Amino acid sequence: MAVELERFYLGCLAHASYMVGSGGEAAVIDPQRDIDQYLERAAERGWQIRHVIETHLHADFVSGHGELAERTGARIYFGAAANALFDHVAVHDGDQIRFGDCRLRFLETPGHTLESVCVLMEDLSAPGQPMVLFSGDTLFAGDVGRPDLSPTHTPEQLAAILYDSLHQKLMPLPDDTVIYPAHGAGSLCGRQLGPESWSTLGRQKQTNYALRAGSREDFVHLLTAEMPPRPEYFARDVDLNRRGATALAELKELEALSPAQVRERQQAGALVVDTRPAIEFAAAHVPGSIHIGLSGQYASWAARILGLDRELILCCEDDGHLHESRLRLARVGVENVHGYLRDGLAGWVRDGGRLEYIPQISAAEVRELLGKEPVCILDVRETSEFEAGHIAGALSLPLGELESRLGELPRDRLLIVHCKGGYRSSIATSLLQRAGLADLANLTGGYDAWKATGA
């Protein structure tokens, strides 16, 4: 009968979910909000999804556990401390689920959150095969979960609890235990996540800086020193997941808005979000719009920059990109999308709408300007990236903090903005332009281009 495992990876959120099946039944672990892929794959394999397991109340995305359970009749499992406000099974240390040759055993591993659990999987048809640990956000490849998501515990307290969970529950497991975490590189839930899709406990003991800490005190210091700010939307997503999100099909249909209607909504406080490629946005865009390209981590940046409550109007390339944009926003709990600009920027132009643009500047041109003209180089990468290498004299101001620190920017010189490759700096320049800074330019290719020129 054996046990089969499949990993589903959502690149824009660096989120991994899993489905395991045996004996005609299946369990889905940490599902994303849009669930059709699980239903389709289970149907292909002849499985009935009977179990939906959450390793914790996720803060960086909205889970589809409610809709998945409703459409399949499955039971939802949460760590007992989650206090979920819907029908679910509250699991404790040692609780088990068995179907076919699959046995899933719960380990309570608080620290990233108080309700965090890991799930240890055994294939009973292959007793000599290494066990599999679905580690949620407790243990990543290269890192552990950030300890600042509790309203009742300090980061230092959570970090100490996480140390005990790791050393009492996970470290005693065999070194060949296969680790499948809920996130990969790029997630906001840790700082040094590696690119690997899986690892082993033995490998993590050797290479993971957090597991190599010499003491609880060292571990707490490592995790809490210079911790990046927690995105404001995290607490809202936790609450949505505790209450249970509405099904995607229940979200209101987007309205096609004429340019005149868009202007009216803008005057009432709505924000136009342009999702087109950066070069197209830079060349021409609706005045006052914010650029967040679909090509990158669109959803998480939208939630961090825009929040969950602001009324949004989308400007996209076509219907396909419009659907994708709306779906990605819903995945992180951004649901207040009023409509979209009918016929996109072409419709705006036909209506005689005014356009804005953002100048682009090459690394070679920047090098020529330095020392000749009064300029300010603004680096919007994370602090750790800046410290690893930066343009001499540059001002460090991470994108996530930009709007709250606008007062630190000079207004009497050209502001040249850059990130690593250009994605974040395009967001930043649109925010700065909207805030009234007119003398600015985006460094094409970012810091990567700067280094490539030998500057």
Look at residue 420 and tell me whether its pLDDT is greater than 70: yes
Look at residue 385 and tell me whether its pLDDT is greater than 70: yes
pLDDT tens for each residue of 87-143: 999 999 999 999 999 999 999 999 999 999 999 999 999 988 999 999 999 999 999
The two tokens of residue 231 are 């995105």
* Contact present, 119 and 173 (Cβ < 8 Å): no
Look at residue 1 and tell me whether its pLDDT is greater than 80: no
Q: Please check whether residues 208 and 316 belong to one and the same domain.
A: no
User: CA 348 to CA 285: how far, in whole Å?
Assistant: 9
Q: What average pLDDT does this structure show over 423-451? A: 96
Q: Is residue 20 in a domain?
A: yes
Strand-pair partners of 173: none
Radius of gyration of the chain (CA): 24
pLDDT confidence of residue 257: 97
Q: Is residue 408 in a domain?
A: yes
User: CA 427 to CA 291: how far, in whole Å?
Assistant: 5
Q: Among the three residues 177, 212, 242, which one is the final residue of a domain in this structure?
A: 242
pLDDT confidence of residue 453: 87
Q: Is 196 helix (H, G, I), strand (E, B) or coil?
A: coil
Q: Please check whether residues 398 and 259 belong to one and the same domain.
A: no
44: pLDDT confidence band, cut at 50, 70 and 90? very high
* Contact present, 358 and 444 (Cβ < 8 Å): no
User: What is the amino acid identity at position 272?
Assistant: V
Q: Is residue 181 in a domain?
A: yes
Q: Is residue 369 in a domain?
A: yes
Residue 271 C-alpha from the chain's centroid: 22
Find the helix packing angle between 65-72 and 36-45, rounded to 10°. Answer: 40
pTM attached to this predicted model: 0.93
Q: What average pLDDT does this structure show over 203-221? A: 96
| Start-to-end Cα distance in the chain | 61
* Contact present, 230 and 300 (Cβ < 8 Å): no
Q: Which phi-psi region, left, alpha or beta, contains residue 215 (left: φ > 0; alpha: ψ -120 to 50)?
A: beta
Q: Is residue 189 in a domain?
A: yes
Q: Please check whether residues 290 and 378 belong to one and the same domain.
A: no
Q: Please check whether residues 83 and 159 belong to one and the same domain.
A: yes
9: pLDDT confidence band, cut at 50, 70 and 90? very high
* Contact present, 41 and 19 (Cβ < 8 Å): yes
Q: Is residue 211 in a domain?
A: yes
Q: What average pLDDT does this structure show over 218-246? A: 93
CATH number for the domain including 418? 3.40.250.10
Q: Please check whether residues 235 and 306 belong to one and the same domain.
A: no
Q: Please check whether residues 162 and 83 belong to one and the same domain.
A: yes
Q: Please check whether residues 50 and 137 belong to one and the same domain.
A: yes
User: CA 262 to CA 311: how far, in whole Å?
Assistant: 12
User: Whose structure tokens read 């600042």?
Assistant: 148
Q: Is residue 248 in a domain?
A: no
Q: Please check whether residues 211 and 270 belong to one and the same domain.
A: no
CATH number for the domain including 186? 3.60.15.10
Q: Is residue 355 in a domain?
A: no
Q: Please check whether residues 91 and 194 belong to one and the same domain.
A: yes
Q: Please check whether residues 314 and 183 belong to one and the same domain.
A: no
Look at residue 455 and tell me whether its pLDDT is greater than 80: no
Side-chain half-sphere of 239: how many Cα atoms within 13 Å?
8
Long-range contact list for 42-48, CB < 8 A, 24+ apart?
A: 45/4, 45/21, 47/19, 47/21, 48/24, 48/72
pLDDT tens for each residue of 185-204: 888 888 888 889 999 999 99
Q: Among the three residues 242, 263, 292, which one is the final residue of a domain in this structure?
A: 242
229: pLDDT confidence band, cut at 50, 70 and 90? confident
Find the helix packing angle between 216-224 and 155-165, rounded to 10°. Answer: 130
Q: Please check whether residues 274 and 193 belong to one and the same domain.
A: no
pLDDT confidence of residue 226: 81
Q: Among the three residues 350, 371, 394, which one is the final residue of a domain in this structure?
A: 350
Nearest CA to 55 out of 155, 124, 149, 133 is that of 133
pLDDT tens for each residue of 403-413: 999 999 998 99
pLDDT confidence of residue 104: 98
Nearest CA to 69 out of 109, 31, 99 is that of 31
**Domain of residue 259, residue span:** 253-350
Per the structure, how many domains does the chain have? 3
User: What is the amino acid identity at position 271?
Assistant: L
pLDDT confidence of residue 333: 96
The two tokens of residue 209 are 């800086």
User: CA 313 to CA 268: how far, in whole Å?
Assistant: 12
* Neighbour count for residue 375 (Cβ, 10 Å): 19
pLDDT confidence of residue 413: 92
Q: Please check whether residues 409 and 261 belong to one and the same domain.
A: no
pLDDT tens for each residue of 275-330: 999 999 999 999 999 999 998 899 999 999 999 999 999 999 999 999 999 999 99
Average pLDDT along the chain: 95
Backbone angles phi, psi at 212, to 5 degrees: -95, 0
Strands 271-274 and 290-291: parallel
Look at residue 153 and tell me whether its pLDDT is greater than 80: yes
pLDDT confidence of residue 371: 79
Q: Which phi-psi region, left, alpha or beta, contains residue 308 (left: φ > 0; alpha: ψ -120 to 50)?
A: alpha
